[in-house]
Amino acid sequence: MTLTPLWTSQEIAGIFSTEVKISWQCQGISIDSRTTTEGDIFFALTGPNSNGHDYVKLAIAKGAVAAVVSKPVQGLDPDFLVMVDDVKDALDSLAQAARARVDIPVIAVTGSVGKTGTKEALKAALGRNKKVHASVLSYNNDIGVPLSLARMPRDADYGIFELGMNHAGELRLLSKMVRPHVAIITTVELAHSEFFRDVEEIADAKAEIFEGLMPGGTVVLNHDNRQYARLSAKAKEGNIENIISFGSDETAHVHLLRQAFHETCSCVIANVMGRVMTFKIGMLGHHWVMNSLAILAAVETVGGDLGLAGLGLAEMTPLKGRGRRHQIFLDHSGEASILLIDESYNANPASMRAALETLEQTGVRPGARHIAVLGDMAELGDMSEELHGELGDVVTDKDIDRVYTVGPHMKRLSDSLAAFRVGGHFDSRAALEEKLIRDIRPGDVIMVKGSNASGMAKVVEKILDMEALAIKQAV
């Protein structure tokens, strides 16, 4: 079977206005020689800590058909090189060409919480009978977005892109590159507040996504969010007429009627623009229920099949670091186990609240405990101590038995809790791990979360190792 090329050498030469000396077709685009595969074209990007030109020969050796460079590479046949003035500018140009060559519905997703999950759920909802191209992982910045666009196949039926920011002005540029037909803002909360004076400034920065919206496009907004009125007004200022709201209130275009939570899923009845739908989400939590309403609004807007979308949502499974669940056996008999909820990929106050709520909603057997293991939330600036302390009220209001914390900011949370809830506060991750592993008992449900800088993914790995250690000791 002949594969449709992602890009040809002739197309690349025309887009970059440069000479390509040999004829080739590429099937993928790589910016990292460690993940380069046969048939890729390699972009030698230069960053603060590395220079992609140092890895061009390795990329070619691994099967890349060519490399986009801004200078010659010593010891490599120049026929493999596509010379440009600036490699990043070339990637941006290719992204714009990719967007221009398709005439398909494009959806962009942003928000303080839930961007990646919503993007993945949209892919599942639309992908049961269509070819959907979506950005991978959390590729949502000035490198990830053009890379994701440039990777979009010419025969895709839908394009879904995640847009992120932590400074004003960033979303404007990304949205104008993606040019979405539908723009979703999941919610606006205090995240990256180190770079903003207040949540209103964050809302204004999120509203920049409207500036790239295609004429006649649609904005999907969270009616429950305190910034809804501000965002709606911003959309209207931009002459956007199609504003769809989602939320709990019956005045929202897509609104929740009922929800029920089970061990590994959420069941929902919702009114989707006048049509009552019953569906299941393969994820647990009220925040997932809310995200699903935004997803169905987008599916309806782009002409997707709501019934198939519901089936797609039911088949979802949590991503690594974003709610993935692990049953860990503590002995070789299979009778003693714990449940680990891995929420270790990043954190802000809103996502912390959602994760703690999900922990509480997860059932435990008699005598077992809900345990939260929390690391610092980063980029909160002058509000950091206050926002960490406010989590104490969240924990106190929920059925959470023990809280283990690590990091200077999380000490504020630990100090605010009643003594019976405190598993311990630690200055180092190693000290936390030692005490936590010693305290865990069969039946416990353990949720681990923190900003990436806090390294909570390492704590997850340590807990996962308990099963291998238990088996080894039993032999």
Nearest to 313 by CA among 285, 288, 264, 280: 280
Alpha helices in 340-383 (DSSP H): 349-361
- Count of domains forming the chain: 3
CATH number (domain holding residue 127): 3.40.1190.10
Do both 60 and 116 map to the same domain?
Answer: no
pLDDT at residue 473, rounded to an integer:
54
pLDDT at residue 469, rounded to an integer:
65
Residue 28 lies in a domain: yes
Do both 356 and 219 map to the same domain?
Answer: no
Nearest to 254 by CA among 229, 239, 275, 234: 275
User: For residues 13 and 66, what is the distance between their CA atoms, to the nearest angstrom?
Assistant: 12
Do both 269 and 394 map to the same domain?
Answer: no
Do both 137 and 269 map to the same domain?
Answer: yes
Q: Mapping DSSP to helix (H, G, I), strand (E, B) and coil, where does residue 445 land?
A: strand
- Tell if the pTM clears 0.75, that is, is over it: yes
CATH number (domain holding residue 344): 3.90.190.20
**CB-CB contact of 404 with 426 (8 Å):** yes
Do both 285 and 330 map to the same domain?
Answer: no
Buried/exposed code over 300-321 (b: 16+ C-beta within 10 A; e: otherwise): bbbebbeebbbebbeebebbeb
Q: Which helix (H) or strand (E) holds 66?
A: strand 66-69
Residue 93 lies in a domain: no
Cβ contacts of 28 within 8 Å, gap of 6 or more? 6, 37, 39, 40, 41, 151
Residue 374 lies in a domain: yes
pLDDT at residue 331, rounded to an integer:
79
Residue 229 lies in a domain: yes
pLDDT at residue 1, rounded to an integer:
56
Do both 60 and 209 map to the same domain?
Answer: no
CATH number (domain holding residue 80): 3.40.1390.10
Do both 76 and 191 map to the same domain?
Answer: no
Domain boundary among 291, 314, 337: 314
Residue 97 lies in a domain: no
Tokens encoding 302: 């782009």
Residue numbers of the domain that contains 255: 102-314
Do both 77 and 193 map to the same domain?
Answer: no
Residue 154 lies in a domain: yes
Do both 364 and 439 map to the same domain?
Answer: yes
pLDDT at residue 470, rounded to an integer:
61
Residue 423 lies in a domain: yes
Domain boundary among 270, 287, 314: 314
Do both 248 and 120 map to the same domain?
Answer: yes
Do both 70 and 216 map to the same domain?
Answer: no
Do both 287 and 403 map to the same domain?
Answer: no
pLDDT tens, the chain, 475 aa long = 568 999 999 999 999 999 998 999 999 999 999 999 999 999 999 988 899 999 999 999 999 999 999 999 999 999 999 999 999 999 999 999 999 999 999 999 999 999 999 999 999 999 999 999 999 988 999 999 999 999 999 999 999 999 999 899 999 999 999 999 999 999 999 876 778 889 999 999 999 999 999 999 999 999 999 999 999 999 999 999 999 999 999 999 999 999 999 888 999 999 999 999 999 999 999 999 999 999 999 999 999 999 999 999 999 998 899 999 999 998 776 778 999 999 999 999 999 999 999 999 998 888 889 999 999 999 898 899 999 999 999 999 999 999 999 999 999 999 999 999 999 999 999 999 999 999 999 999 999 999 999 999 999 999 999 887 665 554 4
Residue 89 lies in a domain: no
Buried/exposed code over 339-365 (b: 16+ C-beta within 10 A; e: otherwise): bbbbbbbbbbbbbbbbbbbbbbbbebe
User: For residues 183 and 218, what is the distance between their CA atoms, to the nearest angstrom?
Assistant: 6
Q: Mapping DSSP to helix (H, G, I), strand (E, B) and coil, where does residue 62 land?
A: coil
Count of Cβ atoms closer than 10 Å to residue 411 Cβ: 18
Domain boundary among 314, 337, 367: 314
